Amino acid sequence: MKKKLNSSTIRRFITIGLVIALTALFSLLSSNFLSMYNLSELFRNAAYLGLIACGLSVVMVGGGIDLSVGGIVCATGIICVHLSDIGLSGYMVLILGIITGGAFGLLNGFIVTKLKLTEFVTTLASGFLFFGLGLVFAYRDDHGTLMAHSIKSNTYLSLGQPLLPGGFYLISLVWVVLAIILWVVMHKTELGLYTFAIGSDEKSARMSGVNVAKIKVIGFIMSGAFSGLAAVFVTAYERTASTSLGNMREFLAIAACVVGGVVLGGGKGDAVSAFLGALFLAMLDNGLRKFGMDSYVVYMIQGSLILVAIAFDSQFAKISYRRRVKEQRLSAQTLTS
């Protein structure tokens, strides 16, 4: 019996087609689009968004949402720069950044599961909380005015440099490897199986003996940890800590997941969907800005893509429902005849 394609799989193929089409279009319009320098910068930007989106995809597949990832990036990034100032090596800061982001995610999971608040309200509020925490730790001059602070640790700065002169960045390699690992986790382990089950039907999953609260908490921890990892890499690249870290990243990460094939409401999608969505959005942003497009045009296009993806899911769900009803009727007629 042939396996039917779901909306997530179809949208993933569409995104792959769009990535190929954009590559062909931009390479024809710009001679340096496929240059090593531009590709390395494109993949670095995609990896920054993609790491956040990969972690977020776990929460979304489980039927939730995490609007706090931007705040986690902001707070974790600034805290990590402070840690490097006290003499910790860049690699130790990297580990502590992941732990810090995971701790913020744990807080989200605790509030959602123990206080029984919705993911939307919880993470919206905690996102503001984390941004505020970032402001508390932000660097200021003698007059209390926010100021830029340069990172002095060479091992920390090395995390933001290309692997080879003119080559790809470490964050790009980490992004690809973690996306593959996360795909395996989601499709080959009980954690992934239970996450899909909760996203498809939380009540049925609970009745089947799944520890829903535990799985949700793990999802939020992973989302926070991936955001913390992204924060370390972006501060290392920018060589400074800034309160603008994480600005709008929660919405771009959601956009990457949705465009790549993660279905709002849960049950469909994975890290590969988030990977493809982030790559597509980064490529779109890179190509449009090369031709002098303003930021508002890019944001409008991204917003339109989200609407199209959601509309696609809605229509596909209706078509699937009608097909199931039709098959059930035909089956009933066959049994009665």
Please tell me whether residue 167 adopts helix, strand or coil conformation. coil
Q: Which residues, listed in sequence order, are joined to residue 146 by a DSSP beta bridge?
A: 140
What is the Cβ-side half-sphere exposure of residue 55, based on CA atoms within 13 angstroms?
33
- Better-predicted residue by pLDDT, 222 or 255: 222
Question: Phi, psi at residue 71, to the nearest 5°?
Answer: -65, -35
Domains present along the chain, CATH in parentheses: 7-336 (1.10.3470)
For residue range 78-115, what is the model confidence (pLDDT) as tens digits? 999 999 999 899 899 999 999 999 999 999 999 999 99
Interval 293-299 mean pLDDT: 76
**Predicted structure pTM score:** 0.90
Give the span between the Cα atoms of 87 and 75, in whole angstroms.
19
- pLDDT score at 119: 94
Residue 316 corresponds to which tokens in the numbers above?
Answer: 């596909």
Instruction: State residue 1's pLDDT score.
Output: 42
pLDDT of the residue at 253: 93
CA-CA distance, 27 to 171, in Å (whole number)? 24
Give me the pLDDT at residue 143, please.
79
Determine the pLDDT at residue 196.
94
Q: How far apart are CA 292 and CA 283, in angstroms?
A: 15
